[in-house]
Amino acid sequence: MKKIRKGFTLIEMVVVLFIISLLMLIMVPNIVAQKENADKKSDEAFKTTLITQAETYLADHPDKTTVSVADLQKENYITADQSKRVQKIKDLNPSNLVEKEKTDAS
């Protein structure tokens, strides 16, 4: 009588785990790179929105020459969450987002 073999051998399990590990080594760096790329694009879009809101604020307040994040939040041009997000973006100056261009009156 021949024994019927059920299940997997240890070697088969090790081979499967090795293949899964190789696939993970290939996929994880790509996933991380995609997330970083998405975060970068999201930050750029947010900066564009923020600058547009600052320019709108300056257009609505002709007496002002500079705009801060606090001004935008106080006047409801941006939300509190957006204000917090500005602090996380390194190349934005929260106290002076946009400066009105000076024109000569002569």
- Name beta bridge partners: 99: 66
Report the pLDDT value the prediction gives residue 106, as an integer from 0 to 100.
41
Whether the pTM exceeds 0.85: the reply is no
The residues, any chain, with a CB within 8 Å of residue 90's CB and separated by 6 or more, are none
In angstroms, rounded to a whole number, what is the distance separating the alpha carbons of residues 69 and 55? 12
- CA distance to 8, 29, 54, 79, 106, per residue, from 103 (Å): 80, 50, 19, 31, 9
- Give percent above pLDDT 70 in the chain: 92
| Residues of the chain under the 50 pLDDT cut | 105-106
Report the pLDDT value the prediction gives residue 1, as an integer from 0 to 100.
64
